[in-house]
Amino acid sequence: MALLEIDNLSAFYGRAQSLHNVSFNVGKGEIVAVIGTNGAGKSTLMDSIMGMVKNTGAIRLEGQDLIGFDSSEIVKRGVGYAPERAHLFPFMTVEDNLLVGGYTARDDIGRNLAHVHELFPVLKQRATQETATQSGGERQMVSVGRALMTSPRLLLVDEPTIGLSPKVCSEIAATLKRLNEEDGLTILITEQNINFAMSLATRVHVLETGHLRISGTPQELAADDALNKAYFGG
Amino acid sequence: MSQILIQGLLLSGLYALIAIGFTLIFSVGRVLNLAYGAYLMLGGYAYFWVVQTMHMPKLLGILVAIGVGVLAGLLKHRLIVKPLKSDPVAVEIATLILAVVIQAGVVLVFNDSAKIMHPIVNGVWRVGGATVTYNILTATIASWVILIGLYYFVRKTHVGRAISAVSMDVKGAAISGINPDRINMITWGLSGALGAIAGVFFASYTQLSPSMWVAPLIIAVAVVIVGGIGSIIGTLIVAHIIGFMEIISTTLVAAELRGVFTMLLIIVVLVMMPKGLFGRGEL
Ligand SMILES: Nc1ncnc2c1ncn2[C@@H]1O[C@H](COP(=O)(O)OP(=O)(O)O)[C@@H](O)[C@H]1O
Ligand SMILES: [Mg+2]
């Protein structure tokens, strides 16, 4: 059984439909990427998994349906989320942001915090800095760190590279890879940055205006002419 | 001079306590709870009933007042804020109406004459030409203890940090495993408790009357508006600005000016600095 099964998922904001019968799975230990341009529905997909959008279809975590549960319950069941624009607590310190992430996984706080500090040593140095005053890259690290504080079995990362320098992007990529390889963490990321997604993921899905168009391994997609035309301009 | 300093400090401590429960709700839910003054009234009358009507211990009076405040806060959240989905204007209209209804209820039960509350603590203290009642001194010390306690609660406990998290970013809080609705509920209960205990002290400083909810509400609104989206430290600072202004204006100019400067300050700040003096979203 896949860790995450998305089955015929549609998403609605009022009358507007942003996802149309999307289906795919994320196996345990995989890194799966969903790529798509602005407005394709990537954030909607992530928010749907977190129970923040009106949906039809099914989203299952280890076979258990998530639709209809509160975000807080979904977090408890093992989904960690680093959303677009981070949604950090701006006037709290880095340390307090991370501690809030430990709200549900209280027994793991010591271990998780040490692990986050090991992955992102800069967050330990900046422990008492308010996140409002941090750089975009550090904020992204706090965001991923806060998600890890929930002791997730599945980590969702929505466009982690948006607005970041290539150097910071590759740092984030290395950390996600490390989380996957060393801790066996299952990761679902969305990206507009195709190269970033291709370098990281074992499977890639292409989302276009709410429809899942193409799926495959990075190698298969790189060989796909239509896709290359659309996304690499050549 | 020392009279002004001492009276200012004492009054400001009480004002900070009055404002903090209101600030808390504004920070977390971004709504002005215009029935906040009614918590103070309910707390004051509950204490009065227990201690001066039923002749039971003062400590019990305070506990009953807190209980009534918590209950009022939770009911308000359940029956008004949640159904109105925290829509600020709707909640503000509904809470203002509620305050008037509670006032009518108090008149019905206790009649509309003002009541003098016995001091919670008897006696006076003379320092450097000033006289200070132990009652207001106790109120001020209690305010400080409560505010410091609240400060640590918000910073050092899971639920406290969650309250602060919801006040800064609801989505961020939700994906951290916090149920914002639940935190909102807890905050309304806490705000009710803080309002009720402030009401006991406020009533013992002034008097009990069915219209006593108006003055503290104005103080609380002023603190939020002048302080910007409330922080505990900001609340303390602004409470001192307002408290000292009031003492200075009433002792040096005219006693009739009580409250006028507070209202003028609200308007001036609204016009000049729409975000308040300390316009940040922290607790
Ligand atoms: N809160 C919202 N209310 C209404 N429409 C929304 C909302 N969020 C996103 N949408 C719409 O849903 C579609 C997908 O948006 P989104 O998921 O944010 O795309 P992406 O993350 O891929 O850029 C867009 O057409 C967008 O306008
Ligand atoms: Mg997006």
- Range A14-36 average pLDDT: 97
| Cβ-based neighbours of A153, under 8 Å, separated by 6 or more | A3, A61, A62, A78, A79, A185, A186
Whether the predicted pLDDT of B251 surpasses 90? no
Note whether A146 contacts B176, CB cutoff 8 Å.
yes
Percent of chain A past pLDDT 90, that is, above it, reads 91
The verdict on B177 touching A (C-beta cutoff 8 Å) is yes
Which A residues 2-61 touch B at CB under 8 Å? 50, 52
Contact yes or no for A115/A148 (Cβ under 8 A): yes
pLDDT on residue B216:
93
Lookup: tokens for A164: 């970041």
Question: Which phi and psi (to 5°) does residue A48 adopt?
Answer: -65, -45
d(CA A62, CA A25): 11
Residue B176 has its nearest CB partner, among A86, A100, A106, at: A100
Closest in B162, B171, B280 to A100, CB measured = B162
d(CA A108, CA B262): 49
User: What tens digit of pLDDT does each residue of B193-214 get?
Assistant: 999 999 999 999 889 999 999 9
Give the containing element (helix H, strand E) for A207.
strand A203-208
CB of A43 closer than 6 A to ligand 1?
A: yes
| Mean per-residue pLDDT, A214-226 | 86
Q: Which CATH number fits domain A1-78+155-163+186-234: 3.40.50.300, 3.40.309.10, 3.30.565.10, 3.40.190.10?
A: 3.40.50.300
pLDDT at A234: 44
* pLDDT at residue A29 greater than cutoff 90: yes
- What pLDDT, on a 0 to 100 scale, did the predictor assign at position B271? 81
Per-residue pLDDT at B250: 87
Query: What is the pLDDT, as a whole number, of residue B226?
Result: 81
Cα gap B169→B151, rounded to integer Å: 19
B120 or B267, greater pLDDT: B120
Q: What residue segments make up the domains of chain A, in order of their start?
A: 1-78+155-163+186-234
- Residue % of chain B over a pLDDT of 90: 69
All residues at 6 or more sequence positions from B16 whose CB lies less than 8 Å from its CB, including other chains: B143, B147, B223, B235, B236, B239, B240
User: How many whole angstroms separate alpha carbon A73 and alpha carbon A81?
Assistant: 13
At A146 the pLDDT is 98
Q: Does B157 touch chain A (CB under 8 A)?
A: no
Average pLDDT over residues B29-58: 95
- B166's CB contacts (< 8 A; 6+ apart) are B28, B173, B178, B180, B183, B184, B187
Q: Rounded to a whole number, what is the largest CA-CA distance in chain B? A: 58
Closest CA to B174 of A71, A98, A67: A71
- Read off the pTM: 0.92
Measured from the Cβ of residue A205, the count of other Cβ atoms closer than 10 Å reads 25
Q: At residue A220, does pLDDT exceed 50?
A: yes
Q: Where is pLDDT greater, at B227 or A29? A: A29
d(CA A174, CA B235): 45
> SS3 for A174?
helix
Tell whether the model's pLDDT for residue B19 goes beyond 70: yes
- As a whole number, mean pLDDT of residues B79-95 equals 91
Handedness of CA B260, B265, B270, B271 (dihedral sign): positive
pLDDT tens, residue by residue, B145-189: 999 999 999 999 999 999 999 999 999 999 999 999 999 999 999
Which of A98-107, A162-171, B11-20 is modeled with the greatest confidence?
Answer: A98-107
CB pairs under 8 A between A and B: 76
Residues of chain B found within 8 Å of residue A105, distances taken between Cβ atoms: 177
pLDDT in the model for residue B263: 84
Looking at the predicted structure, is the pLDDT value of residue A160 above 60? yes
- Cβ atoms of B224 and B22 within 8 Å: the answer is yes
Q: ipTM of the predicted structure?
A: 0.95
B172: nearest CB among A87, A106, A150: A87
